Structure 1
Amino acid sequence: MRKTRGTARLLAVAAVLTAGCATACSGGTGATHPDGRPSSAAPAAPRQSAAADTSNQDPAHYAPQVIKHAREAGVSPRLVMAILYNEDYKPHDPSLERSWQKIKPDSAFGIANMHKAAFDQTKQGRSFAHRDWQELPDDPDLAITAESWFLHDLAAQLPAHWAGPYTKDQLLALGYNAGAGNMAAFARGATPGSAAGSYLDRLKENWDKAGKAVARAG
């Protein structure tokens, strides 16, 4: 059951944090990878949203927010949901995320695993411009909003035509994972590396599940 698996994952991460072990993650410039500008500042006290609910780790729980914010940003709700499933490889517990961030300052926050540079760039001129990246662990709605608009901005950087064998949504997912520059290279026909290729494989695996979650809520 998901609850049992989630509990096991929480205990595993807690054990790693207790041991003080930091594992390096793969590089990149997308929302789910470090941007190369780690911050040593201590995390600020979170501002808890009245709508926040981090107790249910199943991305399908957030389907209404996914549909709302994806449509506002002009991107596919199914894509937004599939990416949430892709990013569900770790427990999204606010206290654990902040503990890990103390060990690895360039780690990602929130259910969409967004890094500070990506969030700060995406929020410019938008309704959440006043929000802070460090609020993401406590506010799934904010995380989904930022994810949706980040995908919107990636879509604006796609060429009108591309040579690679990927759909638009697949390219946007690759951009979310590996950055806009790599996304453009993949559109020109470049072959994704192992990390990006694995991310695309997981997207394909999660695609039907994401579609069903969105359809149930739509």
Structure 2
Amino acid sequence: MGEEQKGPRWGRWIVIGVLAAAGWGIVRSGGHEPGAGSAASSASPPAAASAGASPSSGAAPGTAPSAAPAKPSGRYDPADYAAPVRQYAAEAGVNPQLLMAILYNESYKPHDPDFERAWQRGKPDASFGIANMHRAAFDDTKPGRPFASRHWEELPDDRNLAVQAAAWHLHDLADQLPGRIGAPLNKDELLALGYNAGAGNMLAFARGVKIGPQAQSYLDRLHDNWAKSGEAVK
């Protein structure tokens, strides 16, 4: 390749690199690292029924759907979603404090929709939405549920859908737990580990298999987030 061709191409890559770094800085400023405090939301807290414009609302026939939620930004506090957490935890029969604590655990990642999609293009197995759900988990959870007609690709733009899907995924994990647990872990701890590490690992932990450092780190963060999660969903 001649220098006259190489020069312009390197110039383009330099410009792309500068723009990418600037974009990452903007998005990262709104994300949450593990253990970091939550940033104030730049969007209005959603009402529990803000998913009413979608098939996940469960609104009675003849009722007017509420306005669709505004496109979310990367900056948010999981506590802003306390109303959907309470609604969908009740719908799925799971502990709302657990669901909220999982949102806090997963809030380390920037949750700007454009960033998530850009990241997924380079890493197709990446997770989507504020609950960091993978495609397979979403597709396995949705059949027969109020959001059965929705798609995994919608999770970055509809945070209420992300909360609803996470609630039902926890419901399905709970159905797999044995009646007697042979481990020094309670049900909510095991469900959180199942959400993070998968049902197979959850069942191994329930039998008494020692958890590894990655799972222990997730559990430690759950404990750190537990009290404020309970306050949020009161």
Q: Does 1:114 align with 2:133?
A: yes
- The amino acid of 1:209's aligned partner reads K
Q: Which residue of 1 aligns with 2:213?
A: 194
2:72 matches 1:54 = yes
Q: Secondary structure at the match of 2:25?
A: helix
Percent identity of paired positions between Structure 1 and Structure 2: 62
Match of 2:228 among 195, 205, 209: 209
Runs of 4+ that moved beyond 6 A:
none
Structure 2, unaligned stretches of length 5 or more?
Answer: 1-21, 29-53, 55-66
Q: Does 1:68 align with 2:87?
A: yes
In structure 1, C-alpha distance between the alignment counterparts of 2:223 and 2:71, rounded to whole Å: 27
TM-score, scaled to structure 2: 0.71
Contact 1:60 1:210 in 2 (8 A): yes
| Displacement of 1:13 | 6.1
Aligned equivalents of 1:162, 1:84: Cα separation in 2: 25
Residue 99 (1) aligns with residue 118 (2)? yes
Q: Is the 1:82–1:210 Cα contact (8 Å) retained in structure 2?
A: yes
Q: Does 1:137 align with 2:156?
A: yes
Measure, in 2, the Cα distance between the counterparts of 1:103 and 1:81. 29
Conserved? CA contact 1:9–1:90, under 8 Å: no
Distance 1:53 1:214, change over 3 A: farther
DSSP-derived class of the 1:117 partner: helix
2:144 maps to amino acid: G
Shift of 1:121: 0.4
| 1:44 matched residue in structure 2 | none
Are the equivalent residues in 1 in contact too, given 2:27–2:112 (CA < 8 A)? Answer: no
Cα 1:70–1:53 shift into 2, 3 Å: farther
CA distance in 2, matches of 1:111, 1:122: 16
Count of residue pairs brought into register by the alignment? 175
- Could you list the runs of 5+ residues in structure 1 that have no partner in the other structure? 1-7, 15-46
SS in 1 for 2:220: helix
After TM superposition, the structure 1 stretch with the greater mean CA deviation from structure 2, 128-137 or 55-64, is 55-64
2: CA distance, partners of 1:137 / 1:53: 9
- The answer (yes or no) to whether the contact 1:75–1:148 under 8 Å persists in 2 is yes
Distance 1:53 1:59 in 2: 16
Task: Tell me the residue number matched to 1:176.
Answer: 195
Picking from 37, 60, 82, the partner of 2:101 is 82
Alignment partners' CA distance in 2, 1:12 and 1:192: 36
Pair 1:11-2:30 in alignment: no
**Rounded Cα–Cα distance in structure 2 between residues aligned with 1:9 and 1:212:** 34
Amino acid across the alignment from 1:193: G
Higher relative contact order (CA 8 A, sep 6+): 1
1:22-33 map, 5 Å: none
| Aligned counterparts of 1:145 and 1:129: Cα–Cα separation in 2 | 11
Residues 79 and 52 (structure 1), Cα distance of their counterparts in 2 relative to 1, 3 Å cut: farther
Q: Is the 8 A contact 1:10 1:91 kept in 2?
A: no
Q: Report the Cα offset of residue 51 of structure 1.
A: 2.4
Q: Distance in 2 between matches of 1:53 and 1:212?
A: 27
Of the three residues 163, 172, 178, the one matched with 1:153 is 172
Q: Distance in 2 between matches of 1:80 and 1:53?
A: 22
User: 2: distance between equivalents of 1:154 and 1:11?
Assistant: 36
Going from structure 1 to structure 2, the CA distance change for 1:53 and 1:168 (only over 3 Å counts) comes to: farther
